[in-house]
Amino acid sequence: MKLYTDRFILTPGPTEIPHCVRMALTRETTNPDLDPEFLEEYNKVRSMLRDLLGARGASIYVMVGEAILGLEAAIANLVKPGYRVLVIANGVFGEGFADIVKAYHGIPILVGASDDEWRRSIEVSAIDRELERNKDVSIVTLVHCDTPSAILNDLSSVAKVVKEHGALLIVDAVSSIGGVPVEFSKNEVDVLIGGSQKVLNAPAGLTIVAISEAAWEAINRINYSGLYLNLRMWRESLDTHGVFPYTMSDVLVYALEEALKTLFNEGLDSVYRRHLMARRASWGALEALGLTPFPASIDNSSPTVTAFLTPSGISDRELRDYLWRKYGVMLAGSWGRLQGRVIRVGHMGVQASRTHLLIAYTALAKALRDFGCGVSVSRVVDAIEDVFD
Ligand SMILES: Cc1ncc(COP(=O)(O)O)c(C=O)c1O
């Protein structure tokens, strides 16, 4: 029987929102457009994000809207009709950048789009080859962690080769920031997009955009004329006049602030180490269950999410529905090419813990047993405990 208290949201975003972050949503509200203290608090959040992203000297904006807003803003402000953009397409969101590029009448050139490449971090030599072959490409898009497949791309080696070719790099770090270092300035990233509802464990509804000086030069040159996604308007309005270009959500910013404080209270080194442990424990649990990870190896896999192949003979939908109804554990399926083929466990932020992984994988082990698979619950417990001991 599933009890009312059996509600474990172990998906790779939206994630569980910790109590302190939920409490921030109940704070006294204000008029964020007029209250000078709110602007100060918003700027404090920007400063914490600058530290989290390693983005000294970058412009940082927290915008109301989900992360797709940030992705689209990056393309809208940097791509003119006819521009050719190298899209690193080894995943659902990686490939999805091509649709946004096309929506702005750019021409995407895809690299890494084969089924085999979807199971691996992108090969830097493939990017080098494409940039060598397409000298007119001045923008490259990368997804750091492609959440639907759990693939983690090596941001610093990709950035290095992109810079060698003098191109700008746009990075979707929606499901990595807060769990994996991104080192925006050190890696010379030009635009980086984050989301609130993944590793940061805040509510959905905010997107974070970091912009380098080199990107500003291109943005100013391109002179995008739209309104809602216009990054020049954000800079002019907020940085020059101290005014939001449109109404900010005070409570969502309070929640994000609280979420960031919990990260810094723990310390970023500890946070990143904990996510690496979660990845090891999660892979150990899969091995104990005889399940096959989707990424080709653990090094190709993100410390924030694990993806595995749906066990043969079982429907992913049925298994996940059963886990939820019987054990109160919510896992995620996947999208696009991977729909039905892949099941995912989120270990993002507070979920990257011994307890959360024990709940996820013991429930999965029991469900598989209920479906007639001969698996051992205690082996799964040992595999997780071994890592966190
Ligand atoms: C890698 C990645 N990019 C972008 C998005 C889109 O984020 P949102 O749903 O907040 O628009 C997601 C959401 O799952 C994601 O995983």
| Ligand 1 mean position, distance from CA 1 (Å) | 33
Which of 170, 204, 194, 213 shows the shortest CA–CA distance to 57?
A: 213
- Average pLDDT of the segment spanning 321-341: 97
Band the pLDDT of 264: cuts 50, 70, 90.
Answer: very high
Ligand 1 atom closest to residue 204's alpha carbon, by position in its atom list = 10
350 within 8 A of 15, measured Cβ to Cβ: yes
- Average pLDDT of the segment spanning 377-386: 98
- At 274-298, the pLDDT tens digits run 999 999 999 999 999 999 999 999 9
- Average pLDDT of the segment spanning 149-164: 98
Band the pLDDT of 21: cuts 50, 70, 90.
Answer: very high
Q: Say yes or no to pLDDT of 336 above 90.
A: yes
Q: Say yes or no to pLDDT of 2 above 90.
A: no
Band the pLDDT of 5: cuts 50, 70, 90.
Answer: confident
Contacts 24+ apart (CB under 8 A), 283-288: 284/383, 284/384, 284/386, 284/387, 285/357, 285/360, 285/361, 285/364, 285/380, 285/383, 285/384, 287/383, 288/375, 288/376, 288/379, 288/380, 288/382, 288/383
| Ligand 1 mean position, distance from CA 369 (Å) | 33
Show the CA angle centred on residue 246, arms to residues 244 and 249, nearest 5°. 85
pLDDT score for 6: 84
- Average pLDDT of the segment spanning 161-179: 98
Which of 296, 58, 297 shows the shortest CA–CA distance to 189?
A: 58
- Average pLDDT of the segment spanning 105-130: 98
pLDDT score for 63: 98
66 lines ligand 1 (CB under 6 A): yes
Q: Say yes or no to pLDDT of 94 above 90.
A: yes
Question: What residue spans in the chain does CATH classification 3.40.640.10 cover?
Answer: 19-264
pLDDT score for 383: 98
- Assign domain 8-16+267-388 to a CATH class: alpha beta
The CATH classification of domain 19-264, taken from the options 3.30.360.10, 1.10.238.10, 3.50.7.10, 3.40.640.10: 3.40.640.10
195 lines ligand 1 (CB under 6 A): yes
Ligand 1 atom closest to residue 13's alpha carbon, by position in its atom list = 14
The pair of three-digit structure tokens given for residue 278, joined into one six-digit string: 């979660």
93 lines ligand 1 (CB under 6 A): yes
175 lines ligand 1 (CB under 6 A): yes
- Average pLDDT of the segment spanning 116-128: 98
| Ligand 1 mean position, distance from CA 68 (Å) | 6
* Atom 3 of ligand 1, nearest CA residue: 174
Question: What residue spans in the chain does CATH classification 3.90.1150.10 cover?
Answer: 8-16+267-388
pLDDT score for 266: 98
Q: Say yes or no to pLDDT of 1 above 80.
A: no
143 lines ligand 1 (CB under 6 A): yes
147 lines ligand 1 (CB under 6 A): yes
- Average pLDDT of the segment spanning 262-272: 98
Percent pLDDT > 90 in the chain is 98
234 within 8 A of 61, measured Cβ to Cβ: yes
| Ligand 1 mean position, distance from CA 383 (Å) | 30
172 lines ligand 1 (CB under 6 A): yes
pLDDT score for 3: 78
| Ligand 1 mean position, distance from CA 389 (Å) | 33
Q: What is the mean pLDDT of the chain?
A: 97
- At 206-250, the pLDDT tens digits run 999 999 999 999 999 999 999 999 999 999 999 999 999 999 999
Q: What is the DSSP letter of 221?
A: H
